[in-house]
Amino acid sequence: MKSLDELMQTARLPVMPEVAMKLVSSFGSETLEITYMRDVIAKDPALTASVLRLANSPLHGLSRSVKTLDAAISILGISKVRTQAIAVCLSNSFELPKGMSRDTFWNQSMRCAGYAMWLALAVGLDENEAWLTGIMLHLGEVLIVPLQNAPAPAAATPAARWQVEREQVGFDEGQVMAEVAKQWNFPAEIVQALHDCASPLAAAKFAPLSAVLHLAAILSEAERGDDAILQALPSELVARLGIDIEWIAQYLPDPASFTDTSML
């Protein structure tokens, strides 16, 4: 099998748009302003339309429509706009493998991102970075499927799918996407979370975001109220985050609340 470095050298990675590169580079800025975000996004008319569509979503319950980027960023917040805009850029850059339904794929990605955000809020992590990392995890699947002899069955659990990926390719989708994220200069915590999400407790240093991502992946592929899935959640990992399975079962959001793909 190829090493991860060799795989990345031969893989046909999508080209990261300039707008997305500028948005990613802004993660390191301590004084990010609305004007900077506005000027970057305004260079892409389609992205501008997506941000305005998000701001005008019924979810925000506004009494009048939002017509400018400045207003949209003020309402949504710089951090949320940045992560949502990066997600749009990524969704436009990745070509899904033949036979993979775009609607199904993005609905699943949004569910994973939504649960990651929900769990992040519960344990005190950055919910917007968690949301974006959840989106990125499934993009690793887009990269790894063409390399497999036979993808895991559609009904397989995330853990089973990751195991099949490692057996056939040598790496799982999180590890592959982590390397891409590293090359694209995403924050180190996002890179690490992707790399370790399949086995958070086996990592050299435990990263809560990797645990959040692991649990979100499991929850995203279960139906609400599925007791079997809830009981299958790794209890040690749940406890490491300072929560418990009973709390998850009681407050678990409806996955339908996460699957508005209109922006993507």
- Which residues have a Cβ under 8 Å from the Cβ of 9 and sit 6 or more positions away? none
d(CA 210, CA 254): 22
Phi, psi of 124, deg, nearest 5: 85, 25
* Distant-in-sequence contacts of 160-169, Cβ < 8 A, 24+ apart: 162/198, 166/198, 169/1, 169/7, 169/144
d(CA 191, CA 177): 8
Residues counted in the chain: 264
- Give the CATH fold of the 4-258 domain: Hypothetical protein af1432 (1.10.3210)
Each residue's pLDDT tens digit, 177-212: 999 999 899 999 999 999 999 999 999 999 999 999
Exposure class string for 157-170: b at 16+ Cβ within 10 A, else e: ebbebbebbbebbb
Each residue's pLDDT tens digit, 33-62: 999 999 999 999 999 999 998 888 876 667
